[in-house]
Amino acid sequence: MNRPIRLHPAWIVAAVAFVALVGAAGFRATPSVLLHPLHAEFRWPLATISAAVSVNLLLYGLTAPFAAALMDRFGIRRVVAAALALVAAGSGLTVFMTASWQLILCWGVLVGLGTGSMALAFVATITGRWFVRRRGLVTGVLTAGGAAGQLIFLPLLAVLVDASGWRAASLVVAGAALLVVPLVLWLLREHPAELGMPPYGATEIEPVVKPAGGAATRAVRVLFQAARTRPFWLLAAGMAICGATTTGLVGTHFIPAAHDHGMPQTTAAGLLALIGIFDMVGTVASGWLTDRFDPRLLLVAYYALRGGSLLVLPGLFAATAEPSMLVFIIFYGLDWVATVPPTVALCREYFGASGAVVFGWVFASHQFGAAVAATAAGLVRDQLGEYTLAWYLAGALSVSAAVLSAMLLRRRGTTFTEPVVVAAAPKAWSYRD
């Protein structure tokens, strides 16, 4: 007789995924701290440096659906370990660069590909395989790992840049990426059926399903199928605006914008990290709400509130962190990526077992919006000498995303299927919650 297992392995897998996501967020936080140091040392225009960030953000998004398909075909551990190695290489090699194209190669291509393989499609894959009950909540917690990474790394990197220069910060990021690899290889399990167990909250073992064909072919096939549906385009457009108004604009340009008003870089980095604290709370709460309310209505509320906050932001900048700015930081932090849990839930509702790959493409639109906004805001700053126009445009876009999300209320349950290969599951183990 097998001895009952009291802790379902899904929670261990979720914990390891959380650590990996914390690291990935820290790697992506680096550019916002290094914009001014690189500009000061190399005299590259902010638009040029922002272009490297845009390549990073674009590849971060475009890699996600292919990474989700690769995880289905070759396993989560292999893909995540390889991604961490790419991040370490890209961050470490920046210390040797002498030209802007090398910044684009290291920051943009290598780090973009690496972090893209640990993007939120990774979250959708983990929760889709390992959880039936508490799926929305776990999605929120894992998504909040991004906020935790920002919280941990941003102040540290800002201090390192001030004390030892930007090269020290790059080497710390490279070392942190390598430290996570052994944990991933040791504890990140692939599928509950391989342990003879059902997903958390289920009563029956779900067989391992491996999609037929190559990973790249599948990712493209799923895109073409999803692109024939209206919900895909509404979700993708909303997430493009989400990316533009968070990672692309605030995540990349908040520190330089605050610095323009006389605020020290370390103070601005602390405020951005504070967004991370409240993002953790907001995203977990959003996951809890997604398990209980219509995710379409949640998206409408999140985007509308974000738009209003961005429209008032230009009047809040000052040389010190005034109470009004702190109110904005708290409010905006709660809403930062609260959109992710309901969007993941809708992708699974509309597209079934292909939901993780579809979300990868939806998330690619998020990063496309972020990439456009990162470069556009840099151009606005170079041409006008300030960011005010960028904040107003972002606020208007967020309100339009609320309208697009409301249009999802007209259709529910669109699905499609794809050919799969089902592997036999081993004998079940018993467990207790």
pLDDT at 427 over 80: no
pLDDT, residue 433, reads 42
Q: Is position 98 within any domain?
A: yes
- What's the N-to-C CA distance of the chain in angstroms? 19
pLDDT, residue 70, reads 81
Q: What is the pLDDT of residues 31-42, one digit of tens each?
A: 767 777 888 888
pLDDT band with cut points at 50, 70 and 90 for residue 430 = very low
Please give the tally of structural domains in the chain. 1
pLDDT at 415 over 80: no
Read off the pTM.
0.71
Q: Is position 384 within any domain?
A: yes
Q: Is position 425 within any domain?
A: no
Which residue carries 């009291």 as its tokens?
6
Q: Is position 201 within any domain?
A: no
Instruction: Kindly report the three-state secondary structure assignment for every residue of 260-308.
Output: HCCCCHHHHHHHHHHHHHHHHHHHHHHHHHHCCCCHHHHHHHHHHHHHH
Mean pLDDT computed over 327-351: 88
pLDDT, residue 429, reads 44
Residue 332 near residue 398 (C-beta atoms within 8 A): no
Q: Is position 82 within any domain?
A: yes
d(C-alpha 351, C-alpha 343), whole Å? 12
d(C-alpha 343, C-alpha 140), whole Å? 11
| Structural domain range at position 259 | 9-194+206-420
Q: Which of 77-81, 146-150, 307-311 has the lowest mean pLDDT?
A: 146-150
CA 211 to chain CA centroid, nearest Å: 25
Portion of the chain with pLDDT greater than 70, in percent:
88
Portion of the chain with pLDDT greater than 90, in percent:
13
**How high is the mean pLDDT of the chain?**
82
pLDDT, residue 152, reads 67
Mean pLDDT computed over 345-349: 89
Q: Is position 426 within any domain?
A: no
Q: What is the pLDDT of residues 229-279, one digit of tens each?
A: 999 999 999 999 999 998 888 888 888 888 888 888 778 878 887 887 788
pLDDT, residue 75, reads 83
pLDDT band with cut points at 50, 70 and 90 for residue 298 = very high
Q: Is position 58 within any domain?
A: yes
pLDDT, residue 374, reads 82
pLDDT, residue 235, reads 95
pLDDT, residue 409, reads 80
Q: Read off the CATH number of the domain in which 301 is found.
A: 1.20.1250.20
Q: How many CB atoms lie within 10 A of CB 415?
A: 13
Q: Is position 40 within any domain?
A: yes
